[in-house]
Chains A and B, each alone.
Chain A
């Protein structure tokens, strides 16, 4: 089974990656080499084998959802790392999501 450049483009779109033309060609080639190796798994008889979803047998580990520390201070610290412009208003800002909608000042 070969992966085409078109499939690589589709996967890149799903992963929200914009690839250059060179990257598309490179990744297509490399995908095929890597997947050929991965196809070794087809030698195994996997019928009636349960998939291993986790190393441990832990289930539903719960704890109380309690905020620690001062919320205000935490908000300031977190927003300090935000690359958006309107931190002082206490928000993460992003470009317009709905077209034709302008925020009123």
Chain B
């Protein structure tokens, strides 16, 4: 087995037992990257080899002296390119931030640095995290390692593809309407959106502030628990960060899940779901029952209103968040302007891509005079109803099980000219963001050789038991250990 194929946990254990060094882990993933990255295109920016190795050497030196800052010290990882890294390009996959080097680190960057993990590079994404396929990157689309003609999902498509292709041991993504879970599902990895308020967004470039959360993308459930432990916790620099005692998520793993009550909302198995996805998730439901879990069908009647609600709330917040890109203080400034208004107009028109402009406009429209009540205010009321659906179900059930995405990875270009069809990729994931509850996607099978993900949604701050449940289910599902074709024969299909 090549080192790069290990899970983060196994890599950490090998470090702990002094079987490998961090330098060797770095060399292994860099070798892997030089083999497959040209076909995956998961990175926007790779950090210089010598810089990475120097960091790894330092961590090895410390470890040799018996000092390690966390169990994951020395393990290579990637960050989505909307998380600020001091002095290292942070582009949001946008021309408007193409040359931006943040003067500070995001909270999660700091946490991972303090934990001694080794940053390999910044992962590709849809511009400003707006998209479901990573085709909206201003630079290039990322390819799905399971089939390079297909999308990896989005917006954290780079983060998911890098983990699936074994180019890093884990990564972070951000999830506003499914942007961690949907690419995790399409790439066959684990992706968690924590409870709103669990992970600080300080230094995460904002998209829709009442929905955004940062979460891990990992090779399995145990890795997810370990990474969450590092990044969760209160931070005074994000006023939505909730003061709570730190939890040991790993300590939940391995506990029995017999007697768990799980709800299966029928609305998630209706609209637009592909048969192979339904079958795969239903298989998992049968396994749950075998494990002694009580599964019952329920109704969450406002589910089909989540997506329209999301596209109003999300775009309204985005239109205001993205007003800061004016070409004045940082980022791109269009040349040749005679006055301030022209500077704004030209900078924004040349700097933003098509989807970002579309969403800024939709949000501006929803907030504009005469439409505010009909659109924005109504969407907030609908949001109340969607949250109530969750509160009602959680009175009687511990968890909710649904598919993550209505279809497996789709072919690149297929949905690009049709924004509404693209938006429908998020039909099962936006609900958790609107309600602020945690949700995780784990791979549950293959459909025509492409991964299918199932979603487990929990009560606020119940990540521990969600992970406990997923850990037990993962063992039964038999997906773990399945790798995309690239690792079987070492080469990807030709990319035309």
Give residues in A with beta carbon < 8 Å to B: 3, 7-8, 11-12, 14-19, 23, 27, 30-31, 33-34, 37-44, 46, 49-56, 58, 61, 63, 74, 77-78, 80-84, 92, 94-97, 99
Given A15-B364, A19-B349, verify A94-B343 contact (CB < 8 Å).
yes
A33 contacts B420, C-beta separation under 8 Å: yes
A30 contacts B382, C-beta separation under 8 Å: no
A58 contacts B240, C-beta separation under 8 Å: yes
**Which residues 349-373 of B have a CB within 8 angstroms of A?**
349, 352, 354, 357-358, 360-362, 364-365, 368
A81 contacts B383, C-beta separation under 8 Å: no
Q: A12 — nearest CB in chain B belongs to which residue? A: B361
Q: How far is the CA of A96 from the CA of B103 in the complex (A)?
A: 28
Give residues in B with beta carbon < 8 Å to A: 100-103, 196-197, 210, 236, 239-240, 242, 302, 304-305, 307-309, 311-312, 319, 323, 326-333, 337-346, 348-349, 352, 354, 357-358, 360-362, 364-365, 368, 375, 377-385, 387, 419-420, 423, 435-436
B308 contacts A51, C-beta separation under 8 Å: no
Q: Which residues of A contact B365 (CB under 8 A)?
A: 3, 7, 11, 31
Q: A54 — nearest CB in chain B belongs to which residue? A: B210
Q: How far is the CA of A98 from the CA of B291 in the complex (A)?
A: 72
Q: How far is the CA of A31 from the CA of B363 in the complex (A)?
A: 11
Given A15-B364, A38-B308, A40-B305, verify A50-B197 contact (CB < 8 Å).
no
Given A49-B381, A55-B435, A97-B340, verify A17-B348 contact (CB < 8 Å).
yes
A95 contacts B419, C-beta separation under 8 Å: no
Q: How far is the CA of A18 from the CA of B323 in the complex (A)?
A: 14
Could you tell me the distance in whole angstroms from the C-beta of A46 to the nearest C-beta in chain B?
4
Q: A30 — nearest CB in chain B belongs to which residue? A: B419
B329 contacts A92, C-beta separation under 8 Å: yes
B340 contacts A34, C-beta separation under 8 Å: no
Q: B338 — nearest CB in chain A belongs to which residue? A: A95
B304 contacts A40, C-beta separation under 8 Å: yes
Q: Which residues of B contact A11 (CB under 8 A)?
A: 361, 364-365, 368
A95 contacts B343, C-beta separation under 8 Å: yes
Closest 9 CB pairs of A and B: A55-B436, A51-B380, A83-B333, A81-B330, A77-B103, A61-B239, A46-B381, A52-B383, A52-B384
Q: Which residues of B contact A7 (CB under 8 A)?
A: 365
Given A16-B348, A83-B327, verify A34-B385 contact (CB < 8 Å).
no
B319 contacts A63, C-beta separation under 8 Å: no
Q: How far is the CA of A11 from the CA of B333 in the complex (A)?
A: 22
Q: Which residues of B contact A58 (CB under 8 A)?
A: 197, 239-240, 242
B368 contacts A41, C-beta separation under 8 Å: no
A38 contacts B333, C-beta separation under 8 Å: no
Beyond contacts A49-B385, A96-B340: 11 other A-B pairs, Cβ-Cβ < 8 A, are A3-B365, A7-B365, A15-B348, A17-B348, A18-B349, A41-B305, A41-B308, A55-B436, A56-B240, A61-B239, A80-B101
Q: Name the contact of A82 in the complex, choosing from B312, B329, B384 (C-beta under 8 A).
A: B329
Q: Which residues of B contact A61 (CB under 8 A)?
A: 239-240
Q: Which residues of A contact B330 (CB under 8 A)?
A: 78, 81-83
Q: Which residues of A contact B358 (CB under 8 A)?
A: 27, 30
B329 contacts A34, C-beta separation under 8 Å: no
A38 contacts B312, C-beta separation under 8 Å: yes
Q: Name the contact of B328 in the complex, choosing from A18, A31, A84 (C-beta under 8 A).
A: A84
Q: Name the contact of B361 in the complex, choosing from A17, A38, A39, A78 (C-beta under 8 A).
A: A17
